[in-house]
Amino acid sequence: MLGEAAYPEALAALEDASPVLSLLGRDEVLSSPAVAMVGARNASANACRFAETLAQGLGEAEHLVVSGMARGIDAAVHRGALATGTVAVMAGGVDVIYPPQNRTLYESIREQGLLLSEVPLGIQPQARHFPRRNRLISGLSKGVVVVEAALRSGSLITARFAADQGREVMAVPGSPLDPRAKGCNSLIKQGATLVDSLEDVLQAVTAQAGLGVRPSSPQPPVVLADAASDEEAESGKARLLELLGPSPVAVDELVRRCHLSAAAVSVALLELELAGRLERYPGARVSLVLDAKADAGL
């Protein structure tokens, strides 16, 4: 529960801290400073090898390595840091093995690391859980390293959450001919720190050493839309689609009109963006992608 000693301090400091977390494994690993690493599910062999080596180096440098238990980069990250400490943030319940092909890795993390989720036990992961899971990955960490990612991917959503939470955003550059590198190259153009070695990452996160300290008077927990039923969540998303159009509108205006919390609207907008239905503009404005209206039965 939020406020109890076992609750991760870095997450307790977030405005939208989850009231309840499930932890399965060795919660003592949370005492180490954390760095998150994320990337493509269909990652290249070279990227997976680099991610595993970098995660191993971070662990040997006494950092906890956090990722999302997905195929590709996430799995490589967990394998690299298994011996020194890793946290897998789950989109479903901590007792639900997902994806199924990571069963062996799941068992190893349960024994040697930590599985963490804000979703109740027994819940199968759904599409709307993944953006929320991503904010926990970044929230636990001093910085996020994106190893390989397409332009529209969950890894970039994790990077956006990291920036919003004041964490360091780092990206590994890649070939401009590889679509899996376009997201990382775009992050670097937008100001993310270019990293291609362990030393780069350690230097980048040094300035974030003060993160993760629980404030003296924690804010009361904010219950997000995920606490609502599936029907309520879908109703809220449908309302947003009704309000959105081809002309940019301020996110604050959407919050006022749809009668959902700001956090719930943010998560819904991220889901729409991940699905390719949303365009963002300066000044916290968004619009619906023109050809998305015909596909509005999300």
Write down the pLDDT at residue 229.
44
Are both 9-206 and 225-295 of the same fold?
A: no
Structure confidence by residue, pLDDT tens digits, 4-58 = 988 999 999 988 888 999 999 999 999 999 999 999 999 999 999 999 999 999 9
- For the segment(s) 9-206, the CATH number from 3.40.50.261, 3.40.1440.60, 1.10.3980.10, 3.40.50.450 is 3.40.50.450
Amino acid letter at 227?
A
Q: What span, in angstroms and rounded, lies between the C-alpha atoms of 131 and 157?
A: 7
Under a CB-based contact definition with an 8 Å cutoff, are residues 233 and 239 in contact? no
pLDDT at 267: 73
The whole-model pTM stands at 0.74
- Looking at the chain, the number of H-run helices and the number of E-run strands are 11, 11
Per CATH, which fold does 225-295 belong to?
A: Arc Repressor Mutant, subunit A (1.10.10)
% of the chain at pLDDT higher than 90: 60
The structural domains of the chain, with segments of one domain joined by +, span: 9-206, 225-295
Distance CA 154, CA 144 (A): 13
Residues 6+ apart with CB under 8 A from 75: 48, 69, 102, 105
pLDDT at 226 over 50: no
